[in-house]
């Protein structure tokens, strides 16, 4: 399996050209980098810098809301390459890039740039067969995934409000790894306009027009319970990520009436409120019925089939990024401290979820997002030290 871009700098130039064109077409759009209780900054404002170091890697819960632009790069390590030194080197490069001291930024300010690194099950199993992150994802229905787009050893997630930064940083990091890494696939994506969902939080709309990511572990207590790994020590402070790239059948969904679209999701399209009533921040009342005995939230509605209480799992921090190539769709990313949170949810959705017939998954993988790092504790040193 060989990387399609054997010359990362050339690939980066092509990506930057595409981003320049896109930036020209979307001039005047605002970013979604406003924090809770603050209005979104004007286009000329410089987003607040996000430190790369700490107990957790940036790019998961910080910044809040998430930046508008993402590039996920999935790659394999050559079997002769030791992961520890490579990850430590990547961590040092991430620190200089996010600090704005790396000349490979080409003079651009880093703004709210974040880079998040994860390792795949093969590398985790080499460090410990029973460690969180050692299990591969099972196969699910409605998948059309080539071998190259399934799994992988390394995830590099790059996010920024400035779309120009993303391919430039990717080129710098791939150049840093050299021929020790072979790229499998990459996907860029963008988040829609943010909508207030209560308690100072916002969430974007997806390509289907609905507010996305309303439910999740938002409080510190919820995140300690459902998001962050508490142990073993080698992974404490990390989390588990699932990536799924999906094509969406937009014409068929758009042909539905608004009421039919809302029945698919179990929420109002305009407000995000559950069909059982309340506001966007209200939990759906799954037992609520009409006077003639019909459930207000249909039995196959997405909000019912994926509800954590129904599935019997914890919450997952979900992010969706709209994509326009290789086909219109979304890049779904979830973070959770137990892979079963995702697998049990999708298994239940597989049996009867009204949303799934509009999706086809074309790339998939799971990764242990490494604990945070600093000068004393290099990236990956707890696992591969």
Q: At which residue do the structure tokens 């490494």 appear?
A: 370
Task: Report mean pLDDT in 10-residue bins for the chain, 385 residues.
Answer: 39 40 34 37 70 97 96 97 98 98 98 98 98 97 98 98 98 97 98 91 95 95 98 98 98 98 98 97 96 97 96 96 97 98 96 96 98 97 95
Calpha distance 366→61 (Å, rounded)? 18
pLDDT at 40: 41
Query: 165-177 vs 83-99: helix axis angle to the nearest 10?
Result: 150
Calpha distance 161→305 (Å, rounded)? 33
SS3 107: coil
- CB neighbourhood size of 312 (10 A): 12
C-alpha distances in Å from residue 208, one per residue of 16, 44, 119, 201, 302 = 28, 30, 31, 21, 13
**Token representation of residue 174:** 């791939």
| Predicted TM-score of the model (pTM) | 0.88
31 near 166, Cβ under 8 Å? no
The helix (H) or strand (E) run that includes residue 318 is strand 317-323
In the chain, the domains with their CATH numbers are: 8-26+65-384 (3.30.70.3420)
**What secondary structure does DSSP assign to 150-167, as a single string?**
B--SEEEEEEESSTTHHH
pLDDT at 33: 34
Calpha distance 324→328 (Å, rounded)? 4
Report the candidate in 212, 208, 211 with the shortest Cα–Cα distance to residue 252: 208
pLDDT at 199: 87
Helices (H), the chain: 8-25, 83-99, 121-127, 165-177, 220-226, 250-254, 258-265, 302-305, 308-311, 339-351, 381-384
pLDDT at 3: 39
pLDDT at 29: 32
pLDDT at 385: 83
- Residue 278 is classified by DSSP as S
pLDDT at 10: 36
Q: At which residue do the structure tokens 């970013």 appear?
A: 31
**What secondary structure does DSSP assign to 11-69, as a single string?**
HHHHHHHHHHHHHHHTTTPPPS-PPTTSPPPPTTSPPPP--S-SSS-SSSSSSSSPPSE
């Amino acid at each position: 399996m060989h990387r399609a871009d054997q010359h990362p700098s050339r690939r980066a130039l092509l990506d930057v050209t595409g981003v320049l064109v896109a930036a020209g077409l979307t001039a005047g759009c605002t970013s979604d980098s406003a924090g809770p209780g603050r209005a979104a900054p004007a286009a000329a404002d410089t987003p607040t810098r996000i430190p790369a170091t700490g107990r957790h890697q940036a790019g998961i819960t910080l910044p809040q809301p998430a930046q508008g632009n993402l590039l996920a790069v999935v790659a394999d390590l050559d079997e002769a390459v030791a992961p520890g030194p490579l990850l430590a080197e990547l961590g040092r490069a991430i620190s200089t890039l996010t600090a704005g001291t790396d000349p490979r930024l080409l003079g651009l300010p880093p703004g709210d740039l974040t880079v998040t690194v994860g390792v795949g099950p093969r590398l985790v199993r080499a460090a410990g067969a029973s460690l969180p992150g050692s299990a591969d994802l099972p196969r699910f229905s409605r998948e059309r995934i080539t071998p190259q787009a399934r799994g992988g050893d390394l995830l590099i997630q790059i996010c920024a409000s400035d779309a120009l930064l993303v391919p430039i940083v990717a080129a710098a990091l791939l150049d840093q790894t050299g021929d020790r890494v072979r790229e499998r696939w990459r996907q860029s994506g963008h988040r829609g306009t943010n909508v207030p969902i209560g308690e100072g939080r916002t969430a974007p709309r997806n390509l289907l027009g609905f507010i996305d990511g309303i439910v999740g572990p938002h409080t510190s207590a919820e995140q300690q319970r459902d998001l962050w790994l508490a142990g073993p020590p080698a992974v404490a402070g990390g989390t588990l990520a699932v990536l799924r790239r999906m094509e969406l059948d937009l014409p068929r969904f758009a042909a539905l009436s608004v009421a039919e679209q809302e029945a698919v999701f179990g929420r109002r399209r305009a407000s995000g409120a559950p069909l059982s009533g309340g506001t966007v921040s209200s939990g759906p009342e799954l037992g609520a019925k009409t006077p003639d005995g019909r459930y207000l939230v249909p039995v196959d509605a997405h909000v019912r089939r994926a509800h954590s209480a129904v599935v019997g799992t914890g919450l997952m921090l979900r992010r969706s990024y709209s994509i326009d190539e290789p086909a219109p769709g979304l890049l779904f990313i979830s973070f959770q401290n137990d892979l079963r949170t995702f697998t049990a949810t999708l298994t239940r959705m597989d049996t009867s979820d009204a949303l799934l017939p509009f999706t086809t998954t074309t790339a998939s993988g799971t990764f242990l997002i490494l604990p945070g790092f600093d000068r004393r504790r290099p990236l990956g040193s707890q696992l591969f030290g």
